[in-house]
Amino acid sequence: MEDSLLFNSPGYPILSFIMLMPLIGALVCHVLRGNLALKIWGLIVTGLTALMSMPLYVLFDRTSARYQFAEVRAWIPALDLNYVVGVDGISVLLVLLTTLMMPLCVLCSWHFIRERLAEFIIVLLLMETAMIGVFVSLNTVLFYIFWEGMLVPMYLLIAVWGGPRKDYASIKFFLYTLVGSVFLLLALIVLYVQTDTFFIPELMSADLTFPLQMLIFIACAVAFVIKIPLYPFHTWLPAAHVEAPTAGSVILASLLLKMGCYGFLRLALPIAPEAAQFCAPVMIGLALVSIVFGGCLALAQTDIKRLIAYSSVAHMGFVTLGIFVFSTRGIKGALLEMINHGVITGALFIGVGMLYERTGSREIRNNSGLSMLMPVFVAFMALFGLAALGFPGTSGFVGEFLIMIAAFEQHQTVGLLLIPGVVLAAAYMLRLLQKLIWADCDGIYCLPVHAGDGFYVTVSDLSIREWCLMAVLAVPVLWVGLYPAPLLEIMSCSVDSLLQYLPHAP
Amino acid sequence: MPHAVVLFSPELTLAGMAVVFFAFSLTRSHPMLLQAVAMVFALMALITTTITYATEGVLFAGVYRVDAFSQTFKILISLGMLLVLWLGSGLRGVKRSVRPEYYFFFALSCLGLMMMCSATELLTILLSLEISSFAVYILIPLRFGVGQRAPLEAGIKYILFGLVATGITLYGMSYLFGLTGTTDLVAMMEVLPRPLSLQPLALIGLVMMLCGIFYKLALFPMHFWMPDIFVGAAHETTAFVATIPKIAATALLIRVVSLCGPSEQLTTMLAIMAVVSMTLGNLLALAQDDVKRLLAYSSIAHAGYLIIGVLCIEPFGLLSAMYYVYGYLWMSLACFFVIYNLSDDGRNIRFCDLRGLYKRSPIMAGVLVVGAIGLAGLPPTIGFTGKFMIFAAALKQQHYWLVSLAVFNVCISAFYYLRLVRAAYSNVEQETDYIELSAAAKLLGILIIIAIIVGGLLPQNFLSLARDGLAAIMP
């Protein structure tokens, strides 16, 4: 067991530390009084967690494919169950993405959440613990506990602080993901019964028969495809996004959607490689359909949040495609795209949240012609919008470009089929930007902003808090867009070792 | 062998409790005093069972076995008693003049249930089943504040169904006695041929005998009584009937099936009952508006999950069943905690009464959420760990279809448990009163939350206790 782990924690158990810090912070919330104190406390805890996670980036050994910063503790001896955590090049970036996005989630709800603030901060912190837990678990039971542990806080986030149709959206989210998860649970128990271990690296090297691999792959795939989500299991996503508060949308888009792809990379691919290869055409097909279908639907939306939600379906299609071409470039591109999508879509949702706080509407029609009123905001939105459509020089370009190269290398047709998806992305994003910046749908210059029933509101540009939020998110977009090498270097070894488990693609 | 009094001390404590409350029934006492005395006795029972945990012995000419297995379950029963008494503080749902009698019958019923854990002989089993049932026959109609009809109807139904179950049990026992000429379980199992299918009559007799246990567990097809009893009886009584008899019934069931050993026919039959119980319970629970009725159907479904662990008839499966029944005690009490404290006048609770609970009492909303996600089997709760172990045990025995159906049921059940959470966290338009809980109730609420979560994440202590207990009957 030990030979796949690298114990290079900096003197203290860093992974447990950043995982448990939000949980402890959540417990402290019960004794705090006053909204401002709670908000500041939430910011302190998430900020400290982000700061504490920095050593993961600095001390990460880029030449090793082993699981680093590992910890092993006896947990339930009666079941031979150990508490094992560790990160490799695949998960370390996702952990960092989580810890860095969470302070922004607190910041972006600074004014928006007014009631039940203590509970809100608690739910956010619980989410953070669960999400970090999923990324660092090296034990299937631990993985599943955190995986399901995300469900209830996210449900509450939508159901308590959501929009008008929160009941419908939250229960749909819950039931969809729960049904997926129980399949995952079955797969994990079957794996345990067959191999007598819960330890993920050991499961990877287990030699499973093809029918068993198929069983496990299909059960995992159901869970992950729903979580990603790919067509035709995507219907929960727009509903959940539209009703969720801004922080909920950001968590959902930036982090929760990554769980499915991460699950494929961590469990389904290495444990059931032959089955993964057998099913790859189906997965690639689903990914292509998601890209085109998501793009078309995004083009038809009038609600900005809904538009971004459908664009997420398309982007996650790109990620899935990158994973299932089984090449270094493809998987690296997919990982990079996961990070980029997390940052860009998070930023777009935060932007929509800012608009909604000002105008009370998320309709494109009611938010058009903003260039005179909110020049700074519009500039940021333009940057993130362009990044979302994969404009060269932004981070969106690098990920998509790598995935497209990989697709062309492996299957010419798949590469060609991707092109409409890229064109659609440009179409819906440029349409959105054009209307946000210049005019409403009839091309009439509309100023000031119309907020529905016959009254007008004036809108102010970004406050310092909001400016900081957007600026912080713009940094990685440009940085990764211009110089992605450090991130690619971190994932390099682990991706190569993952590919060794996989049979060579046809 | 330790002295018989030591071995029998938990039962003697409960008998003492019954005597004391018989004396109390002649006086008028303050409800809090009564509750305090009852809880002291429950605590003493807990202590005596813990002390006698490591002892082993046979009493009453071999019909009564005290070993680590029986004591494990007696610890659970005493713990359950303590919690149920703590939960029903002041017995608001019971008429003041009969409160001492209530505790009297409560003690007698628990005495019967404890005896069930140690009984190894047919007549002792029957006697303990009847002691526990007869006391509950009287407890059920003791309800105040909702009129006479529903409690009496519940009482009559429980008696009638109970008598039928007893009849079937006796009939089954007569077959077994006729076949083997002995009433001692161990001797009987030695005489019976293996596998049991060689002697179909033995199998039929065994299953009929188990009907009495299934009745206590509310397992299909002996589940009919549960919804009406839940709705008709007082909340305190319901909390008791829903949890503690299930513990004792599990003990007896595990003892009987472990003596039988693996048997394909028995497993198949239990599997069918488990599947029907789960599916029926979950589907009917979907349609309920009365929270207690919903819990009744969910209780039937949980009996089904529990049986999956039992039907594996190997140590890991039985261990998981023991853990599950322990978890069910906490999760079920979480729901009854909310019902009892929410219904200040003893009425039944509907979904609309739960609305806005998170504003009226955050602690109760928290307990309800934790209980509901535990019952739904989501981590990180005791319900998840229990289901995980049960499914793992069943998959080890290659019961793929059974586990698939159980997992399907988990999905169905999530919907109605989520309805509870949703109701508690939904907004209300009009301002409603804040519900002030007493310090003791708050403490219990926090204890329940901690037990459900910590018990689920760190089950090692209970598992090693239960494993030692199991080793006493399955070396």
- Tell me what pLDDT residue B430 has: 66
Nearest-by-Cβ selection for B407 from A149, A152, A186: A186
A218 touches chain B (CB under 8 A): no
Name the minimum distance, in Å, from the CA of A112 to any CA of chain B.
18
Does the ipTM surpass 0.95?
no
Are B225 and B158 within 8 A, CB to CB? yes
What is the per-residue pLDDT across A159-203, written as a single tens digit (0 to 9) for each?
Answer: 888 888 888 898 899 988 988 898 999 999 999 988 888 898 888
Residue A100 CA to residue B5 CA, distance in Å, equals 65
How many domains does chain A fold into?
Answer: 1
Separation of CA B230 from chain center: 13
Q: Is the confidence at residue A45, as pLDDT, over 50?
A: yes
Which two tokens mark B5?
């009094």
Contacts of B391 in chain A (CB under 8 A): 185-186, 189
Q: Of B136, B139, B115, nearest to B59 (Cα)?
A: B115
Q: Is the confidence at residue A442, as pLDDT, over 50?
A: no
Q: Is the confidence at residue A455, as pLDDT, over 50?
A: no
Mean pLDDT score, A238-263: 90
How many domains does chain B fold into?
Answer: 1
- Tell me what pLDDT residue A7 has: 86
Residue A456: band (very low, low, confident or very high) from pLDDT cuts 50, 70, 90: low
Q: Which amino acid is at A478?
A: L
Domain that holds residue B68: 4-473
Chains A and B form CB pairs within 8 A to the count of 82
In a domain, A344, yes or no: yes
A151 touches chain B (CB under 8 A): yes
Q: What angle in degrees, to the nearest 10, is found between the helix axes of B362-376 and B382-396? A: 0
Residue A54 CA to residue A107 CA, distance in Å, equals 20
Residue A64: band (very low, low, confident or very high) from pLDDT cuts 50, 70, 90: confident
Residue in chain B nearest A143 by alpha carbon: B379
Residue B54 CA to residue B57 CA, distance in Å, equals 10
With 0-12 / 13-18 / 19 or more C-beta atoms within 10 angstroms meaning exposed / middle / buried, residue B475 is exposed
Q: Of A270, A399, A392, nearest to A334 (Cα)?
A: A399
In a domain, A506, yes or no: no
Contacts of A192 in chain B (CB under 8 A): 392
Residue B322, CB-side half-sphere exposure with 13 Å CA sphere: 32
Residue A486 CA to residue A481 CA, distance in Å, equals 12
Q: Is the confidence at residue A441, as pLDDT, over 50?
A: no
In a domain, A318, yes or no: yes
Please answer yes or no on whether A76 and B418 come within 8 Å at the CB atom.
no
Residue A380 CA to residue A34 CA, distance in Å, equals 33
Q: Is the confidence at residue A265, as pLDDT, over 80?
A: yes
In a domain, A452, yes or no: yes
B contact test, residue of A30, A193, A226 with most B CBs within 10 A = A193
Helices and strands (H and E) in chain A: how many: 22, 2
- Tell me what pLDDT residue A445 has: 43
Contacts of B379 in chain A (CB under 8 A): 144-146, 148-149
Lowest mean pLDDT among A93-102, B40-49, B100-109, B339-348: B339-348
Residue A359: band (very low, low, confident or very high) from pLDDT cuts 50, 70, 90: confident
Please answer yes or no on whether B418 and A174 come within 8 Å at the CB atom.
yes
Contacts of A189 in chain B (CB under 8 A): 388, 391-392, 395, 403
Please answer yes or no on whether A190 and B460 come within 8 Å at the CB atom.
no
Contacts of B319 in chain A (CB under 8 A): 78
Which run of H or E residues covers position A84?
Answer: strand A81-87
Q: Is the confidence at residue A449, as pLDDT, over 60?
A: no
Name the minimum distance, in Å, from the CA of A191 to any CA of chain B.
10
Nearest-by-Cβ selection for B463 from A78, A152, A186: A78
Question: In which residue are the tokens 């009917």 written?
Answer: B284
Nearest-by-Cβ selection for A171 from B384, B404, B418: B418
B contact test, residue of A189, A190, A194, A222 with most B CBs within 10 A = A189
Better-predicted residue by pLDDT, B473 or B333: B333
Please answer yes or no on whether A78 and B467 come within 8 Å at the CB atom.
yes
Q: Of A313, A308, A267, A264, nearest to A290 (Cα)?
A: A313
How many Cβ atoms are within 10 Å of A371's Cβ, its own excluded? Answer: 16
Which two tokens mark A334?
């997919």
Q: Is the confidence at residue B441, as pLDDT, over 80?
A: yes
Please answer yes or no on whether A78 and B422 come within 8 Å at the CB atom.
no
Question: Which alpha helices (DSSP H) does A53-137 contain, by range?
Answer: 54-59, 89-108, 117-136
Please answer yes or no on whether A186 and B411 come within 8 Å at the CB atom.
no
Q: How many residues does chain A have?
A: 506
Mean pLDDT score, B432-454: 88
What is chain A's Cα-based Rg? 22
- Tell me what pLDDT residue A452 has: 52
Average pLDDT taken over every residue of chain B? 89
- The angle formed by the CA atoms of residues A456, A458 and A463, to the nearest 5 degrees, is 150
Please answer yes or no on whether A78 and B415 come within 8 Å at the CB atom.
no
Please answer yes or no on whether A78 and B396 come within 8 Å at the CB atom.
no
Contacts of B425 in chain A (CB under 8 A): 156, 159-160
Residue B88 CA to residue B86 CA, distance in Å, equals 6
Contacts of B467 in chain A (CB under 8 A): 78
- Tell me what pLDDT residue A341 has: 93
Contacts of B395 in chain A (CB under 8 A): 189-190, 193
What is the per-residue pLDDT across B119-158, written as a single tens digit (0 to 9) for each?
Answer: 988 999 999 999 999 999 989 988 877 777 888 888 899 9
Nearest-by-Cβ selection for A156 from B319, B425, B464: B425
Residues 6+ apart with CB under 8 A from A486: none
- Tell me what pLDDT residue B303 has: 94
Better-predicted residue by pLDDT, A99 or A160: A99
Please answer yes or no on whether A174 and B389 come within 8 Å at the CB atom.
no
Please answer yes or no on whether B391 and A185 come within 8 Å at the CB atom.
yes
Lowest mean pLDDT among A175-179, A335-339, A451-455, B5-9: A451-455
Contacts of A190 in chain B (CB under 8 A): 395
Average pLDDT taken over every residue of chain A? 87
Residue in chain A nearest B427 by alpha carbon: A160
Does the CA dihedral A316-A321-A323-A327 come out positive or negative?
A: negative
Q: How far is CA B315 from CA A75, A79, B116, B386, B411, in A?
A: 20, 12, 21, 15, 28
**Any idea what DSSP says for residue A10?**
S
Name the minimum distance, in Å, from the CA of A101 to any CA of chain B.
24
Residue B196 CA to residue A467 CA, distance in Å, equals 77
A244 φ, ψ (degrees, to nearest 5): -65, 150
Q: What percent of chain A has pLDDT over 90?
A: 45
Name the minimum distance, in Å, from the CA of B175 to any CA of chain A.
39
Mean pLDDT score, B422-442: 79
Nearest-by-Cβ selection for A76 from B403, B422, B460: B460
Residue A372 CA to residue A368 CA, distance in Å, equals 11
Question: Which alpha helices (DSSP H) does A360-484 contain, by range?
Answer: 375-388, 395-410, 412-437, 464-482
Q: How far is CA B313 from CA A10, A192, B260, B261, B308, in A?
A: 48, 20, 9, 7, 10
Q: What percent of chain B has pLDDT over 70?
A: 99
A179 touches chain B (CB under 8 A): yes
In a domain, A10, yes or no: yes
Residue B322 CA to residue A326 CA, distance in Å, equals 46
Q: Which amino acid is at A410?
A: Q
- Tell me what pLDDT residue A506 has: 43
Are B358 and B424 within 8 A, CB to CB? yes
